[in-house]
């Protein structure tokens, strides 16, 4: 899989990344460590060498599983992890990074990201200058190689970039969730900031495997996903029916088509999670699906069956006040 440059750094990442939120187990049903390890290893063997995780995914458990799967090939992979919104004071960032280094069994992190902006979910407000000073010091110390932000608006991204080079933005982004295109994409393109999309399959909705009326387990985080609710869910199925013939023309799945569309967007990469090794292998194959300009436009138009009816809230989940939900 041909790698792409991360921002203007000297790091190169794969267009498809392995997402490991599910490996943390919390808020996921039926996850087994052995399956997660096999899936992460399968990603590496399929050419996906960039792995995305976070300290908050199972309180470090996801990071530990990543290390167990890949420590023997550490020099051939790129680790991206994140510091959570409640750890953004200078000393907290430094401690969080040390914990992530320990969990990942490594002496450097390729991409270290602010997971959510300060103040998110009633966390303490910390000046971005203080957080960026910590990240800059970590970079100078060689403990991190590049800095990214996640779930930041364009305004927040611009403010952070005043203090240190930002090489990536990680937003929720898929054919069915495209708020970032109106907000931060133009700025990222102009400033050579890589867009690393999470939930590129809209948490599985774009696979077509969830029938109308599907009900999630009460412990499944997708129960709060707006795309699985009411008319949004109905419109998604209308769009999926129109996407199916295009997928058939390319002899690919709906999921592969959605990933291929996303990584064809300007400077965009896709973080795709998976429970099982066979799912990872299928996801990796999306990199071989080549869409014409006409097909990209056609897919774009179909996606708007869903997105034209969404509000301007950039958060995909209809969360209440439960802190445990705030983990993506």
Q: Point out the residues that are catalytic.
A: 57
Residues 6+ apart with CB under 8 A from 12: 3, 4, 5, 6, 78
Q: Is 225 helix (H, G, I), strand (E, B) or coil?
A: strand
CB-count burial class (<10 Å; 0-12, 13-18, 19+) for 281: middle
Residues 6+ apart with CB under 8 A from 251: none
Q: Are 121 and 165 in contact (CB under 8 A)?
A: no
Helix axes 61-70, 33-45, angle to 10 degrees: 50
Residues 151, 91: Cα–Cα separation, whole Å: 22
What are the helix (H) ranges across the chain? 33-45, 61-70, 90-104, 128-140, 154-160, 179-183, 185-190, 230-249, 254-263, 277-284, 293-307
Among candidate residues 50, 24, 32, the one with its CA nearest the CA of residue 283: 50
Question: Which residue carries 């080079």 as its tokens?
Answer: 165
What are the helix (H) ranges across 153-253? 154-160, 179-183, 185-190, 230-249
Give the max Cα distance, the chain: 54
Residues 227, 90: Cα–Cα separation, whole Å: 37
Among candidate residues 271, 306, 301, 190, the one with its CA nearest the CA of residue 22: 271
């Amino acid at each position: 899989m041909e790698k792409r440059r991360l921002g203007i750094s000297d790091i190169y990442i794969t267009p498809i990344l392995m997402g490991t939120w599910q490996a943390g187990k919390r808020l996921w049903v039926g996850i087994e460590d052995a399956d997660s390890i096999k899936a992460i290893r399968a990603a590496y063997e399929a050419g996906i060498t960039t792995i995305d995780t976070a300290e908050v995914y199972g309180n470090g458990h996801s990071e530990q599983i990543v290390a167990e799967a890949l420590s023997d090939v550490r020099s051939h992979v790129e680790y991206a992890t994140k510091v959570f919104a409640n750890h953004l004071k200078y000393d907290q960032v430094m401690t969080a990074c040390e914990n992530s280094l320990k969990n990942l069994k490594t002496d450097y992190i390729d991409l270290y990201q602010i997971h959510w902006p300060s103040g998110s979910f009633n966390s303490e407000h910390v000046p971005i200058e203080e957080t960026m000073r910590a990240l800059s010091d970590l970079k100078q110390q060689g403990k991190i190689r590049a800095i990214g932000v996640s779930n930041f608006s364009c305004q927040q991204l611009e403010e952070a970039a005043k203090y240190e080079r930002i090489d990536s933005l990680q937003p929720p982004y898929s054919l069915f969730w495209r708020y970032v295109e109106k907000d931060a994409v133009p700025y990222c393109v102009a400033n050579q900031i890589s867009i690393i999309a999470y939930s590129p399959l809209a948490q599985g909705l774009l696979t077509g495997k969830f029938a109308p009326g599907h009900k999630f387990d009460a412990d499944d985080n997708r129960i709060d996903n707006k795309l699985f609710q009411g008319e949004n869910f109905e419109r998604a199925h209308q769009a999926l029916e129109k996407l199916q013939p295009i997928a058939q023309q390319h002899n690919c799945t709906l999921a592969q088509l959605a990933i291929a569309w996303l990584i064809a967007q300007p400077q965009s990469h896709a973080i795709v999670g998976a429970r099982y090794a066979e799912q990872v292998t299928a996801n990796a194959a999306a990199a071989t699906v080549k869409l014409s300009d006409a097909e990209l436009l056609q897919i774009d138009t179909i996606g708007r069956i869903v997105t034209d009816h969404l509000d301007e809230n950039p958060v995909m989940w209809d969360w209440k006040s439960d802190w445990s939900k705030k983990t993506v």
